[in-house]
Amino acid sequence: MATPKLAARGLNKSFVKDGRSIEVLRDLGIEVAAGEFVSVVGASGCGKTTFLRLVNGLIKPTSGTVMVDGIEVTEPGHDIAFVFQQDGLLPWRNVLENAIIGPEVQGKNLGEARDLASSFLNLVGLRGFEKHFPHELSGGMKQRVNMARALTAGAQILLMDEPFAALDAQTREIMQAELTRIWTETKKTILFVTHQIDEAVYLSDRVLVFTVRPGRLKEEVRVDLPRPRELSLKRSAGFAAYTDRIWTLIEQEVRDSIRIETEESLVAARR
């Protein structure tokens, strides 16, 4: 049996806040194959972003392990890139200069890095914008630079934490279609966090549904819809069936999350 590209085994994470321990994730066991696109959905506060941070080695688990190619993750590595909701572009650097930050930090040949970044900027549809600065770009274009930067860094695994959340609805739809195209061409392994169920279904091979905090894997939904996927797929009966199924799985989790947040806010207000 092939070694999974990414595996979480018995993963637990707790934080200490105001002198008390808060359990965020409990006993996660997840495997992702090379080149697979997997999304994570669940109620707010269920540990989705914490899970990505553990995978990237930005924080350490309370117990359990994260493995990439069979090797335990103990710190951030070059084989994993994080794409955040905010683009994080440096305003004093142009598009090309922002795209080569990864190789530059790694001490790689900058001439080769520029050639590689140019090819990825072309892939994400930004040919001709290499010398533009972030303030000259739309929100969608900034996220394209963000993706090109992650690809130029040479990572085989992309962790994407609601990268389209700040975009308007129409741009978000287009960016979803663009991401599926880029993923098809690059064959990267993608772990994608989103609150949008339709986004998760459209993009993914599998959707992982987390429970309310402490986050556990409630169910895995394999999305058996044909690829390549056009945006018109979202209007099909098959697509609607998947979104309804996943919403049914998390509806009570969302209600419980709202109740927990309300109770915690009341307790904090009394202190």
pLDDT tens-digit map of 41-56 = 998 888 999 999 999 9
Stretch 212-240: mean pLDDT: 94
Q: Where are the domains of the chain?
A: 6-79+157-270, 87-155
Q: How far apart are CA 256 and CA 125, in angstroms?
A: 42
The string of pLDDT tens digits covering residues 115-144 is 999 999 999 989 999 999 999 999 889 989
Structure tokens at 52: 């990505």
Structural contact between residues 211 and 47, judged by C-beta atoms closer than 8 angstroms: no
Angle of the 110-123 helix axis to the 169-186 helix axis, nearest 10: 120
What does 100-167 look like in DSSP terms, one character per residue? THHHHHTT--HHHHHHHHHHHHHHTT-TT-TT--GGGS-HHHHHHHHHHHHHHTT-SEEEEESTTTTS
Pairwise pLDDT comparison (155 vs 93), residue with the higher score = 93
Rounded to whole angstroms, the Cα distance separating 135 from 27 reads 43
pLDDT value of residue 265: 67
The CA distances from residue 19 to 15, 16, 41, 86, 93, in Å, are 10, 6, 29, 31, 42
Q: Has domain 6-79+157-270 been given CATH number 3.40.50.300?
A: yes
- Residue 223's pLDDT band, with cuts at 50, 70 and 90, is very high
14 burial via Cβ count (<10 Å: 0-12, 13-18, 19+): middle
pLDDT tens digits, residue range 106-115? 888 888 999 9
Distance CA 149, CA 116 (A): 10
Are 64 and 141 in contact, with CB atoms under 8 Å apart? no
